[in-house]
Structure 1
Amino acid sequence: MIVLKADSASELFTAACQAVLLNGRIACPRDMMTTEVIGAHLRLTNPRRRLVSVPPVRVINPAFAVAEALWILSGSDDPWIFDFNDNLRRYADDGILQGAYGPRIRRWGDRVDQLDAVVRKLTADRDSRQAVVQIYDPGRDHRGYRDVPCTLGYRFLIRQGRLEMHTTMRSQDLWLGFPYDIFATTLLQELMAGWLGVEVGEYHHYVDSLHLYADHAPAAAECLHHEPTVTEMDPLGVDWPDLDPVLARIIRGDGDLSDGTSWDTFGRVLTSYRSWKLGQRDWARTLAHDTPGPLGAALVAWYQHLTQPALVSAELA
């Protein structure tokens, strides 16, 4: 069991890489070699510092980070997410990711919006221990689909006027998965804190199998020789009844969101990357340069990364 604590996702990521490389053992599920630690508790003290960046070795696609978070929050399993990460298609059955978190979170059994249930539970009882979002569904996930959720569920606790979030995962690909998972989960945590009228507390990430695939282990080791970039996202909030309309407008890429908020930044990032995928590279770069804050800088870095001749083919998106 490893227990790590950091003030930013970047620092937590590099600490976890070091811990897995030092303490991990070889395991080969599906005949794919990994270095694995059984039992990890990764504790992030400032969830707004959610963007993983360890240049030049680990540079993530912020457009996919934003797109996946919004895809999940909107309750979607629609294939538009493939526009931001084409590699996900390999896990689809009949064009659908059967393990998509969104429908499970927002429409469990086509009836229960679990986010609404958590808001109601913690509004009625601030000390409740029953504010749970379940993701793993044995009725679906033992059917042999390609896509089986790595996340088992989320729990939310209000203590000392701050909202803590606890995520439990059966499995975590540290290199490819963790940077995007922690972005989405801490975004949800911040929104939930706003709906409940409390401050954002610590984020806790529990993993049964924390691992690095053999292809990524050398890069993970190289990360230890570089300084993590620490950035903090601007505060984000929206009234609970307005969440779905705001998400729909950003995802569609329409509506006037030029209000200088983080939602506007999300829209700019998605628009820029869609332009990039359409071959409008100069316009995409211009939009990225004009996007303020850490996401704009990360998108500029991602475009530079994509045009490097030695781009690793296994990279996301």
Structure 2
Amino acid sequence: MIYTVTFNPSLDYIVSVNDFKLGLTNRTSSELILPGGKGINVSTVLMNLGIKSRALGFVAGFTGREIVSELEKLGVQSEFITIDSGVSRINVKLKSVDGTEINGRGPDIDGKSLDKLMDKLDRLENGDVLFLSGSIPECIPDDIYSRIMAMLKGRGITVVVDATRELLMNVLEYRPFLIKPNNHELGEIFGVELSSRAEVVPYARALQKKGAVNVLVSMAGEGAVLVAGDGQVYESEAPKGKLVNGVGAGDSMVAGFMAGWLEKNDYRHAFYMGLAAGSASAFSEYLATKEEIGKVYNEAVNRLQKA
């Protein structure tokens, strides 16, 4: 079974505002409310590709109930733990001002609720896949990802970690199967600026030496690089298309990569599935469908064969 963990899920209120003006009343030209959070995004893309997963994490209040309800409508299985106080967050994504977001805080997660999640994860078995995605609330210990991986060590569970800084660095000793920093996050770790695909390779290899089996680096318009567990480096420019919505593109890349890997156990196929899924979501209003991912995948592979 595949599991995703989202510690602080949200309702994403995605809006467009024509000619946005700071300090004045603005009216939306389009609106969309969707369940959000990196693990939820992974589960949604996997579901779109016909792969079942179970979304874990915490929800609270009326927004938490709506998150669960919306996931049910999408066909995503969930098993969230309900927090007795507070409300799950609402994140505002302003599409017409690139990259502008206002993210809510979310509920405080008490120790008893955290223990319930750990108990659920403790039931994972050999052959299961676990995605640990995104940041964690301030109320959660910052070593939580490494604690989870320490608990599961030696059980034959494939773990994917999409996190930054200490959350990421602390898990490397437990040999996660896949990590996915972007080029800016990778540069922050080593105190450098990385702008080309060639530049990221030695730093991705450095994370591999620290324990990561595969390092997949997303680079927006520059494409992506995979330093793979077989010693090979796979890299590609970004597929061509119009950027519509960048929210969830990185999560889609992680989901696409693992879908490709589970399908064929082939790094090249997994890499291009990840690249295609990330790009297809960026070209879509929401997370990409199987058909959209397949179209971008075919275009990317055909371009490679002609090169």
TM-score (norm 1): 0.28
